[in-house]
Chains A and B, each alone.
Chain A
Amino acid sequence: MALKMVKGSIDRMFDKNLQDLVRGIRNHKEDEAKYISQCIDEIKQELKQDNIAVKANAVCKLTYLQMLGYDISWAAFNIIEVMSASKFTFKRIGYLAASQCFHEGTDVIMLTTNQIRKDLSSPNQYDTGVALTGLSCFVTPDLARDLANDIMTLMSHTKPYIRKKAVLIMYKVFLKYPESLRPAFPRLKEKLEDPDPGVQSAAVNVICELARRNPKNYLSLAPLFFKLMTSSTNNWVLIKIIKLFGALTPLEPRLGKKLIEPLTNLIHSTSAMSLLYECVNTVIPILKSPVLARNNTVFLYVEKLYFVFFPPTVKYLGLLAMSKILKTHPKSVQSHKDLILQCLDDKDESIRLRALDLLYGMVSKKNLMEIVKKLMIHVDKAEGTTYRDELLTKIIDICSQSNYQYITNFEWYISILVELTRLEGTRHGHLIAAQMLDVAIRVKAIRKFAVSQMAMLLDNAHLIASNTQRNGICEVLYAAAWICGEFSDHLEESNQTLEAMLRPKVTTLPGHIQAVYVQNMVKLYASILQQKEQAGEKEAAQEITQLMIDRLPQFVQSADLEVQERASCILQLIKYIQKLQIKEVPVAEEVIALFAGELNPVAPKAQKKVPVPEGLDLDAWINEPPSDSESEDEKPRTIFHDEEQRHSRHRQPEIDEEELARRREVRKQEQANNPFYIKSSPSPQKQYQDTPGVEHIPVVQIDLSVPLKVPGMPMSDQYVKLEEERRHKQKLEKDKKKKKQKKEKKGKHRRHNSLHTESDEDIAPAQHVDIITEEMPENALPSDEDDKDPNDPYKALDIDLDKPLADSEKLPVQRHRNAENLKSPDTEAPLVGKKSKKPKKKEKKHKEKEREKEKKKEREKKVTEEGKKVVCVLSATYDIQGNLQNDSQVTVSVIFENKSTSFLKSMELNVLDSLNAKMLRPEGSSVHDGIPVPFQLPPGISNEAQFVFTLQSIVMAQKLKGTLSFIVKNDNGSTHEKLDFKLHFSCASYLITTPCYSDAFAKLLESGDLHMSSIKVDGISISFQHLLAKICFYHHFSVVERVDSCASMYSRSIQGHHVCLLVKKGENSVSVDGKCNDSTLLSNLLDEMKETLSKC
């Protein structure tokens, strides 16, 4: 034994300690990753030794590596070992590591319960302290339940150092185990009057946080807090108390009156900016009542303080405080409009954004135009698209708030929207489009104007869509086309607009916009046709038909399915119309009937709000479920096959296999003969060139040097002037009336009148604004319950604290084990705490899963170039597949797509190899060399490359970091770019779908050398068949046999592990029992499966 000790300490001399590690990393700047993986290997060796000092040293190094971003969860058990060391110097290292890397999902945590309990009751206060600190980071509902009583005892410890920590940890315990709140609360309350200020501050902290969520339960504590506030000198405590009062005053108005004096005193006396800020924040909402509002000192203070003298840090806070004042006293903020507008020029983005927020609340009918005008100037000046986009959304938000309440002149608004379309490279084209549609539909009076503006936009479409690749703004054409089509009766020069929509350039727009174009040009065509027929101009009518027939084929050739389908359908329709026209049959009425009727806006929640009629049970079967009648059939059978047959019998009883084959043959021939049938083509441009007849289409010459200001486009400024004149006139008229009144009244109100300025109500809107509200179903339920978040953790803490404690409400206390109580309390399933926690966890996982575990992942890279901002986008999608020939290789296929307008070349992919997974590189190259991608990418082209990875062990999922470097080449030269990514090798990607017969499957199960594990997932709503399909698709399994709601499945890994599953479906849960040669692989696979299933 002694020898071992000596040996251990000699070994230690050669080990690296933390300082050596840090130094080493600094000295290996070139190959840091390699050095670290070497260190991790050493640490793994050290962890295997018995000497606790060596282990602690290793864990200490791991903590450092964890900070650098390395996953150390594999060492969780070693960390627990170090936590249980008797020496404090080691113990604290263990707890530090645990607090950094343990979380609720760490499964070994349940092993720590007794160790933590022992440490909590240790005579050494620092042992206890370190345990409490650690606990605060990784407490789980189980731990909270088991340790609540111990922590509560510590709240009355003799040492204030322990008391204060215990009090703070209780907050976390309450969150995880709400039942503990009532029993612990009396003691927590006592701590508010603790002689030690630290403990007091901790108690204030906890109660303040609790009370902010559910203030009404804590009103009875107000006098106590009031006393504390007037006596305490600790700024941190005061801040918390004031925050707490901020939450309480809305419930108890009398409190406000009482608070105002001490708070004003504090504001004037304190030198701490943070306290001052908190006071101001709290005072503002209190000053709601008019009596108190007279106390203007506070406002004066805010105003002076924040705007004139102080550094940006304070300016920011000032704006923040202003936004709070705005809610209760809008007038006092509005007087600072100019100051706030000045802030828009600030260098600091945080300040600008705050100022924008304030503007949102400050607008009125009177100043809207002026503010928006200022904002438009900023839009022009703004550098950087993000801020400009922010401005754009704010302009739209400001104008559209509360149903366009502040807009008096919609012509002005439309012209603003049109002006905004000149923004280059904004992402918010769809927002503008949505506004155009919304206004045009809901404000009937504006339609004529809107249509004329939209027609102009369509006419100038080449400017907007000059570069569709990087331009989100072309979305507005979607709105423009729809508005022109839908309200085509208002259009003056419909012929010209139709021509504009039929230009060949349109085919370069995104598919969904073209689809809208195609649909709406028919509406337009219909209305033109009607006009011409009514005027008796038959030839003109035929001409327009001929134009459509000439131009539509370019859309029929579109690569976009929707465009193609609509275009070909419409082309046929128009050819038919032409035939009728030749026979001189009037057709316009019938064509226009195709688009009769008006669409009204529907509220987004309308569908949900339709009440279920009485007596209708949506869950009840209409017919008896079919499986019942069939289950009388006793024969065991494979259900898949049967079901399919049944379906086909039901739906199309007359079609048999022969007939189907014949039809297929006919279709194939048809396709072969059809020149327009294009099987697949990677680029739409190519196919466009190949088609015959293109030369006949007159190509519009586009002069790209045209300045962005479009002649004839409206200038919003002119509307501002018009509107001012109109208002002025209105005012004059009103004043006239008033004068008459005044004469009658003889100057009683003279003073008042002379001070009179326009108020909001005086301004009448220019048009008769008829804002159509969104339709709701009749007798819709007014409730808005669906907006509440059911997962709010604080809901559980909404507990009445004034009720006396019942006998049953006691914290669980650890007792000596009885003979019959064999199960340890640690492993026993928890009762309430965990249940309430579970759904949340699922949700989190769900999100992550969507993001990465799906085997495809998109990465986009934006490159900003000097001068003009050019956004160049490369996207890569990958899929991982096992290699049948080699048992330790997987193939990763990556599809690269060049979404930019530049040429991408010299692409090179490199991956940081892990111990287990390595990228297969050509011989002679080192691990740091990347693999060149064997092709270059012209703009808009995608291509696929494959990379092979070798794996040693496949029992665990892997993540590999990597970079893709490439050269972007365009007219301005070339730049070198990099794209970082992560490859995720899930365990399922090592599986290869392998069919298996049921007898072989049975033999395999009987052989007995398979490990067993199982999972259960609740809340499954999809059908069993669907579920099996999911498992087959995502996890590469195949179904061996299926009987009723039970199925056996099989798959094989590339290294030959057999994986057998038995899937059973209950009411709304699914249990999966798995067997596999390797238990780790199995548990990982089941974990992945659990995530997939919990998504269902």
Chain B
Amino acid sequence: MWQKYSSRLPASCNKETISEPNRKMIKFFLMVNKQGQTRLSRYYEHVEIHKRTMLEAEVIKNCLSRSREQCSFIEYKDFKLVYRQYAALFIVVGISETENEMAVYELIHNFVEVLDRYFSRVSELDIMFNLDRVHIILDEMVLNGCIVETNKNRILAPLFVLDKMAES
């Protein structure tokens, strides 16, 4: 009897972790549309492929269930989601507890502004058809889970070089 009782004492619950805790400041960067289709995904720590789909589905479910009056932060498992919605497209960033939520919130907008400049009025289709280029932009801005560059001209410089190479 007693053993049973003591095993029922509230134990600190084991939260499921994506991998080692607090490893990265930015854990992943996602673009998902309202239908739940992933349009861009970038993981800064390794997540197995079948877990990725599960994670993405849950993340978008979480975001869709919220209205515009609600705040852009969701506490999810042992990390936080920061998201912004642009038309039908959600940009969701997973960050560790210690990261500055507001900074990431601003980063998302910066990223969209860069896309807007490159594609001149960016749409979901632009992102789908030019996935590799979007990746280049993202890689210029976020590297290894850190924000590296926020200056639009510098971010786009390598891409313009590439476009010139492709033309010639």
Contacts and interface: CB of A to CB of B under 8 A. Distances in A.
Interface of A: 18-19, 22, 60, 63-64, 66-71, 73, 88-89, 92-93, 96, 100-101, 103-104, 126, 129, 133, 136-137, 161, 164-165, 168-169, 171-172, 198, 201-202, 205-206, 209, 212, 236, 239, 243, 272-274, 277-278, 311-317, 320, 347-351, 353, 396, 430-431, 433-434, 437-438, 482, 512, 516, 519, 599, 601-602, 604, 791, 793, 840, 844, 848, 959, 982
B132 A96 contact: yes
Contacts of B154: 198
Contact of A959 (B50, B135, B136): B50
A604 B6 CA distance: 8
Nearest to A430: B8
B9 A434 contact: yes
A277 B102 contact: yes
A272 B72 CA distance: 17
A437 B5 contact: yes
Interface of B: 1-2, 4-6, 8-10, 19-20, 23, 25, 37-38, 40-44, 46, 48-50, 52-53, 56, 66-67, 69-75, 98, 100-103, 105-106, 128-129, 131-132, 135-136, 139, 143-144, 146-151, 154, 157-158, 161-162, 165-166
Nearest to B31: A67
What 4 A-B pairs have minimum CB-CB distances, sorted nearest first?
A274-B102, A103-B46, A348-B70, A312-B71
18 contacts: A63-B131, A63-B132, A67-B40, A69-B50, A71-B50, A92-B132, A126-B158, A165-B143, A206-B146, A274-B102, A313-B105, A316-B71, A317-B101, A347-B70, A350-B74, A437-B8, A599-B2, A793-B23
A129 to B, nearest CB: 7
Contact of B71 (A66, A202, A277, A315): A315
A122 B2 CA distance: 69
Contacts of A101: 49
Given A168-B143, A236-B103, A433 B131 contact: no
Contacts of B52: 69
A487 to B, nearest CB: 14
A168 B44 CA distance: 13
A274 B106 contact: yes
Contacts of B41: 67
Nearest to B106: A274
Given A66-B49, A274-B105, A278-B103, A347 B67 contact: yes
Contact of A89 (B19, B139, B166): B166
A433 B8 contact: yes
A1086 to B, nearest CB: 20
Nearest to B40: A67
A725 B143 CA distance: 63
Contacts of A601: 6
Given A347-B67, A348-B71, A793 B50 contact: no
Nearest to A396: B10
Contacts of B136: 92
A100 B1 CA distance: 52
Contacts of B166: 89
B156 to A, nearest CB: 13
User: At the interface, is chain A mostly helix, strand, loop or mixed?
Assistant: helix
B73 A602 contact: no
B144 A171 contact: yes
Contacts of B70: 312, 347-351
A433 B4 CA distance: 12
A1009 to B, nearest CB: 36
A434 B71 contact: no
A604 B73 CA distance: 36
Given A126-B161, A206-B146, 8 more contacts: A63-B132, A243-B98, A312-B69, A312-B71, A430-B8, A516-B1, A602-B2, A602-B6
Nearest to A959: B50
B146 A168 contact: yes
A67 B131 contact: yes
B125 to A, nearest CB: 9
Contacts of B147: 205, 236
Contacts of B38: 67-69
Most buried by B among A69, A96, A311: A69
A133 B71 contact: no
Given A312-B69, A519-B1, A604-B6, A353 B106 contact: no
User: Which of A67, A100, A164, A604: most chain B CB closer than 10 A?
Assistant: A67
A692 B65 CA distance: 55
A159 to B, nearest CB: 11
Contacts of B10: 396, 431, 434
A60 B148 contact: no
A157 to B, nearest CB: 15
A198 B46 contact: no
B40 to A, nearest CB: 7
B63 to A, nearest CB: 12
B66 to A, nearest CB: 7
Contact of B49 (A18, A69, A126, A602): A69
Nearest to B129: A19
B67 A272 contact: no
B128 A350 contact: no
